[in-house]
Every structure is written in C-alpha cells, then in structure tokens.
Amino acid sequence: MNRRSFLKLSMYAGCSCLLPNLSRAAGPLADVQFNSAVYAANQPQTIMIFLYGGASELAGNFTNYDQFKNLSQSSYSNHFGSGNLQATDNGFWTTAGGTIMEELLAVDDLNVFRTCFSEVRWQNDNRSHGSCVAQNQRGSFNEDAAGIFANLARILKDNSIIDATTKMPFLTMEGDSGFYARGTLPRDTTLEPISINENLDNPFHRGSEPDYTDEMDTLAQLVNPEGKIKDAFEKRKEMETFINEIDALPDPDLGGHNYEDNSFARKLKTAVKVLNYNSDTQAISLATSGLGGWDDHNDAENYMSRMEQLFRALQSAMAHIRLVDKRGKINIMVMGDFGRGVNLNSANGWDHGNLQTLYVLGGTDYFNTPGVVGETVVKDTGSVNRLYLRPDPSSYWFEPLSVAATIYSIYGITNPGILTDGSPVISPLFG
C-alpha cells in the first residue's frame, strides 16, 4: 500500500477529530425518522455484492425459456449446448448456479426476487451502465445524490450509533464505490469507508518503517498538547492491533462447503470474518473481481461458470455465517446495474435490459424467507434484439430503488421513501 493511500485511510484512526464539529445534514436527511428500538432489535450487518456490467436474470429465472428460445436471433442450444439448458424444479438455470440455488433455497438461506424491474427506465429508454449503477447505489434517480451507505452512516452517527470510538463501521472491498458517494453531505472522516482486500492488508500497519513511525509517535507525544492529535496516534496503534487480530482468525472448517481458492471467494470469506469479529461494522461492499464482468454482449457461455462460482461462494458464506451463529444478523444482497434481454444476439450474447433478479440471503432476525417471488412473461417488441422478460401483470414487482429502502428500513429508518424517490421496501421480506 502506498503512502498516499495509507494516509487517506489512516485518517479514520482519529484525524477526524482535527476538524470542527459538523452539524446535522440538511436536506432529506433532516426529515428522516429513526427508530432506535428497531435498530437495537435487528443489529443488522450487510454484505452488498454488486454485479458490475449488468448480469442476466436467467440464472435465477429460467422459467420462460420455452417461450423465448424460438424467438431468439441466435440459437441457445447451438451456443450453450442443449444439455446445459435445463431448468431446476424452481425454475433456476441448472448449469448457471441453479443446483446450488436449490440447495440454499431448501434450507431457507436464499430468497430470489425475479421482478426487480425499472418502469421509470423502461419508459425513458434508459439502459446505460453509468446511470443505472449510480442510481442503484444511491437509491435515487438523482445520480448526484449521496450513496446508500453514506446516507446510512450519517443517520447512524446523528443518532449516536456511530461515534469516534466505533471501529471500521463501513468497509469497501471494491475501491471507490457509489454506495459511499457523499453527494452534498459534508465530509466526515469518521464515516469514510476503509478499503481492504481479501488478504486483509492492514492500512494501519507501521512495521515497514519502524524507525520513522516510532519517531513520529514519540514526537507527537512530546510536541502536542493533550487532546486530539495525541489521541489520533494512539488510535492508530489500537487499529493496527485490531486488524491484526482479525487477520489471525483461523479459516473456518465448513466441511463440504469450504470456500474455493479464487479471489472472490476469499473476499467473501474475509467479509464474513470481519462482521463476525466486529459488531461495529455495519456494511461491506464488494464486487466480483476474479470471476469476470457481467457485460455479456458476446460469447455469453462464460456466464454459466461465473454464476456457478458466485453461488458456490455464497453457499460457503452462508455455511460460515451459520457456523458462527450470525444468520439472523448478517444479510447478503446481490444485485447489479440492470438485467439483460433474452434475445441471444448475433455475437451470442445479451444486450441491456431493465429487469434483474435480486438475491437476498440471511438476515433472518428481521427478514421473512419468502423463497421465490415474482413471475415474468416474454415481451416481444417485434424488433431484432428487443426481446425481454417483464413482470407478469398480476405479479409483485419493485423498482431497484426499493433495495435501498429495504436496507434503510432494517437499520431503523421508518420513512425510507424520503430517500428513495418514494420507492417502498420490498414487502415480502417483512411481516
């Protein structure tokens, strides 16, 4: 880790105390209603996995295959092989993680929402990566708004859930992310996410330059008065020890569900270890680097193996969460930019759509386990490359912004629609 990154991340260790006190945020946050009893009862922790590029919804919803296969521009059976185009009992794509989904579903570890659909984007013909990512990660159609976790951080601090003593409340395992975009929120380094990787490289580690860091610690104690600067250096020592303790935790023995040796699985294992060890951590965001991207405009056969690896890692994570008895508290959400069409184009891929499958795992202390929710129909516009799945008119569906509303709600925010352009919570998840 270079010095610039270290200094940026180390500000969490106490340098925020050098800034003047920041007032409560104005704008929508000023009207947020927070119920501390709900937060105390739930004590939620969230792992948000974002499928950048816009993953096809077909892994979780292969129910309409017989209706669209003969309408497709290219042949599914020629490209994927007829033996790879079977649906499981619950309509998952068998060879794209479907068998694992069935196993997770059978033990109430998985909820599959097939109708996360943006009517707003459909009406405005918006299938742009940048716009859809920004909106989904902010929970708002205002692409300049603060991110979901930035808003959440401010609300939790304003309600005394987070303070200067809170250790690592927010982490990112994907670098910069719209989930933490500040928008018009004032900078508050107490709330900035710490960036880590699957190896838990320690941003507070000082051993590489022992003479320099020891001298700086000594100098800080000598030349500064009692108060914030001394506290910042002491905090850095504390955080170095804390990170090292997490790093030293043994890997769990999950029997037949041990994590595979790939970058994404290691990230997910590290995320669960951190949440189990540190109740202060509210949320961790990560992408699926190591599996590949999801912008499958061509040669989409790799989608099957990526989904297999994704759900094998999720199955390991749920086994890990069960082992440490945190299935009630830790939830995992999996979403992306958007879904894709079901027309297999001339390059044997799928183009952008507006319906995706949302996966929700864990969080059983506050979430129902409805299992599979939503039914879809084939939408044939009569135009080449415009073949889509859409919610059945009689089916439950929701805008992607409802994911943000659901997150806010489990953390005690009772009027989340004020931050999500009116989009409500995903109601089947709640009693």
Cα(134)–Cα(428) distance, integer angstroms: 25
Residue 303 pLDDT > 60: yes
In this prediction, residues 229-257 reach a mean pLDDT of 78
Cα(86)–Cα(27) distance, integer angstroms: 50
Q: Tokens 């937060």 map to which residue?
A: 39
Residue 198 pLDDT > 90: no
Residue 229 pLDDT > 60: no
DSSP secondary structure string for all residues of 4-27: HHHHHHHGGGTGGGGSPPPPPP-G
Q: SS3 for 80?
A: helix
pLDDT on residue 79: 96
CA torsion angle 143 144 147 150 (round to 10)? -170
Q: Which of 51-55, 158-162, 231-235 has the lowest mean pLDDT?
A: 231-235
Residue 1 pLDDT > 90: no
Question: Which CATH code of 3.10.580.10, 3.40.720.10, 3.40.30.10, 3.40.630.30 fits the domain covering 3-17+45-429?
Answer: 3.40.720.10
- pLDDT tens-digit series, residues 109-135: 999 999 999 999 999 999 999 999 999
pLDDT on residue 83: 95
Instruction: Say which DSSP state 154 is in.
Output: H
CA dist list (Å): 63 to 67, 91, 312, 357, 389? 9, 5, 22, 13, 10
Query: By C-alpha distance, which of 227, 160, 145, 232 is closest to 189?
Result: 232
Residue 106 pLDDT > 80: yes
Residue 10 pLDDT > 60: no
- Report yes or no: 113 and 358 within 8 Å, Cβ to Cβ: yes
In this prediction, residues 184-213 reach a mean pLDDT of 75
CA dist list (Å): 299 to 71, 272, 295, 345, 351? 19, 33, 10, 10, 12
Q: Hey, how many other C-beta atoms are within 10 angstroms of the C-beta on 424?
A: 15
Residue 163 pLDDT > 90: yes
- pLDDT tens-digit series, residues 304-358: 999 999 999 999 999 999 999 999 999 999 999 999 999 999 999 999 999 999 9
Cα(389)–Cα(398) distance, integer angstroms: 14
- pLDDT tens-digit series, residues 33-80: 999 999 999 999 999 999 999 999 999 999 999 999 999 999 999 999
Instruction: Say which DSSP state 413 is in.
Output: B
- Report yes or no: 410 and 366 within 8 Å, Cβ to Cβ: yes
- Report yes or no: 341 and 351 within 8 Å, Cβ to Cβ: yes
pLDDT on residue 17: 32
Query: By C-alpha distance, which of 295, 284, 306 is closest to 55?
Result: 295
Cα(34)–Cα(112) distance, integer angstroms: 28
pLDDT on residue 9: 32
The DSSP bridge pattern shows strands 355-362 and 194-195 to be unpaired
Backbone conformation region of residue 320, classed left if phi is above 0, alpha if psi is from -120 to 50, else beta: alpha
CA dist list (Å): 198 to 7, 268, 274? 20, 8, 11
- Report the mean per-residue pLDDT for the chain: 88
Percent with pLDDT over 70 in the chain: 85
- Report yes or no: 361 and 331 within 8 Å, Cβ to Cβ: yes
Q: Hey, how many other C-beta atoms are within 10 angstroms of the C-beta on 208?
A: 9
pLDDT on residue 180: 97
CA dist list (Å): 315 to 112, 153, 312, 335? 14, 29, 5, 17
Q: How confident is the model at residue 13 (pLDDT cuts 50, 70, 90)?
A: very low
pTM: 0.89
Q: How confident is the model at residue 24 (pLDDT cuts 50, 70, 90)?
A: very low
Cα(134)–Cα(157) distance, integer angstroms: 24
pLDDT on residue 224: 56
Residue 232 pLDDT > 70: no
